[in-house]
Amino acid sequence: MLEANPDVRYIFFLHWSWLVPETVWKNYECVCFHMTDVPYGRGGSPLQNLIVRGHEETMLTALRMVEEMDAGPVYAKSRLLLEGTAHEIYLRAGELSFELIDWMIKHEPQPEPQKGEAVVFRRRTPEQSLLPAFGTVTDLYDHIRMLDAPTYPKAYLEHGDFILEFSDAGASEEELIATVKIRKKSDQGTA
């Protein structure tokens, strides 16, 4: 059993995708940052799920880790715009997280229970990165930009023996311009 160290006030988790062992979150005040206004949007792929649902902004929430994913009490929330690529949004969220960490260290707030009905997001699968066949140019732009970050499966299309991966999108109402990487299906990566 992990014994708590009285010299440790908080353990902060910025961007993670694994479960923190119970011996850690039970013995330390573990604070995670989630890109939704919880209890709305608990769960996986919050950025992508927000963009798919048409959100243009959200709250970055600092909350205490508990057994149930993203269900802990809330220390603070701060407004976060969802414009730009996923990578740009993650960088802004990272900067905002450090501001919240600094504030928490100075003020040591007591977390408050979440209020309202929980809406849980499901983690997206790589197959969901396939470009939709229908919609608007804006829909395609959002689909490409929400996946445009390192370690995420890029938006893609299959064409014969090839995979076309899209990034660096820009759009108006009538057209979209993007960078396309083309590779054989047998290569490593998406699909």
pLDDT tens sequence across 149-187:
998 899 999 999 999 999 999 998 899 999 999 999 986
The model's pLDDT over 6-21, given as tens digits with 9 standing for 90+, comes to 788 899 998 776 788 8
Q: What are the sequence ranges of the domains in the chain?
A: 11-121, 126-184
The mean of the pLDDT values for the chain is 93
Q: Are 47 and 17 in contact (CB under 8 A)?
A: no
pLDDT of residue 63: 97
pLDDT of residue 45: 94
Region 48-55 average pLDDT = 96
pLDDT of residue 134: 94
CATH of domain 11-121: 3.40.50.170
* Between residues 52 and 190, the one the model is more confident about: 52
Identify the CA nearest to 155 among candidates 191, 119, 108. 191
* Between residues 110 and 151, the one the model is more confident about: 110
Query: 124 pLDDT exceeds 90?
Result: yes
- Distance between CA atoms of 8 and 19, rounded to whole angstroms? 20
The model's pLDDT over 71-86, given as tens digits with 9 standing for 90+, comes to 999 999 999 999 999 9
Query: 95 pLDDT exceeds 80?
Result: yes
Q: Are 137 and 43 in contact (CB under 8 A)?
A: no
Query: 145 pLDDT exceeds 60?
Result: yes
Among the four given CATH numbers 3.40.228.10, 2.60.120.260, 3.10.25.20, 3.30.420.10, the one describing domain 126-184: 3.10.25.20
The whole model's pTM is what?
A: 0.89
Region 33-51 average pLDDT = 96
Tokens of 143: 């689909």
Q: Are 8 and 26 in contact (CB under 8 A)?
A: no
pLDDT of residue 92: 97
* Between residues 8 and 141, the one the model is more confident about: 141
Would the CATH topology of 11-121 be identical to that of 126-184?
Answer: no
Q: Are 83 and 73 in contact (CB under 8 A)?
A: no
